[in-house]
Amino acid sequence: MSYTTLALLSAIFAAIANVSARTLLKQLKVRDMFGISFLSVAGLLLLGSPWFYHFQITPRSILLLAMIICLDTIGNFFYFKSFERHEASTVTPLLALSPAFAFLGSWLLLSLTEPWYMYLIAAAIIVAVIFFSIDYKRGFHVGLATFLPAVITAACFGLSALPTKLLLTDAVTNAPSLYMLRAALIGLITLVLFGTRFKSVTTQQFGYIILRSAIVSTSWILFYYALAKGDVGIVSTLGATAPVFVFIIGAVFLHEKMTFKKLLAAGLIVLLSLTL
């Protein structure tokens, strides 16, 4: 299976996870499920770890893992802060800049191996996703207080793909092992920093969180496999198309209202993605 197919499948599973999160976030606050979600992902993967776990401890692998944990923890912190304080219609288009940082980092630190037209298509997808994410009814007004947290989030998520790529191509670990370690460490850090209120989460909600965690795990592991095989910028771009698939799932299965502009943009993004 090609790395572009893996990246698109990752985006589809991420979209399913985002849709499922809507139900939980109507009942729980982000703080209630933040640490639990990461730890439940790690717990699910731990069950199968005897069959896949591999992580070779070296100074380089520890440094790269620490960089991933640091970038993703900071990224997740500012991600939730952005949505807590500002409208999604303003934050989401800025978060779509994440692949641009991945491209910049890979251009500076890694070799670009694909034909030039693939990077041109990827750039067109990034622009299309940004315009797709804008809520034109509410408008798009960006102040410094909105801009900085959202761009920091995009930068952290985009740049974390670089040490991930290096760690996977060094063959000192594999995709499920790396994601299990990432989820466990971020989960512990967020619980220490932000805490959680386990008593406010019901047994049924725990079940939903675990189910969503399985979907999230699938998305990230597919993304990691794609990174191991392909170009960082292109994989990050295809992974960032998740909002388009959220729109498609909402329209087809949840009968959510769609507009012609959104439908046209979604079709264009999917078409461009399939050409990579």
Question: Is pLDDT of 248 > 90?
Answer: no
Res. 191 pLDDT band, cuts 50 70 90 = confident
pLDDT digits (tens, 9 = 90+) for 21-41: 666 555 666 566 667 778 888
Helix locations, 160-202, DSSP H: 161-169, 175-194
DSSP classification of residue 200: G
Domain count, the chain: 1
User: Tokens representing 107?
Assistant: 């251009």
pLDDT at 112: 63
Q: Which domain holds residue 109?
A: 3-274
- Range in 108-112, 143-147, 165-169, 260-264 with the lowest mean pLDDT: 143-147
Q: Return d(Cα 164, Cα 158) in angstroms, integer.
A: 11
Q: 213 near 220, Cβ under 8 Å?
A: no
Q: 112 near 230, Cβ under 8 Å?
A: no
Q: Which residues contact 189 (CB under 8 A, 6 or more apart)?
A: 69, 73
Residues in the chain, overall count: 276
| pTM for this model (two decimals) | 0.83
Q: Return d(Cα 34, Cα 201) in angstroms, integer.
A: 12
Q: Return d(Cα 63, Cα 79) in angstroms, integer.
A: 24
Q: Return d(Cα 21, Cα 7) in angstroms, integer.
A: 21
Q: pLDDT over 90 for what percent of the chain?
A: 18
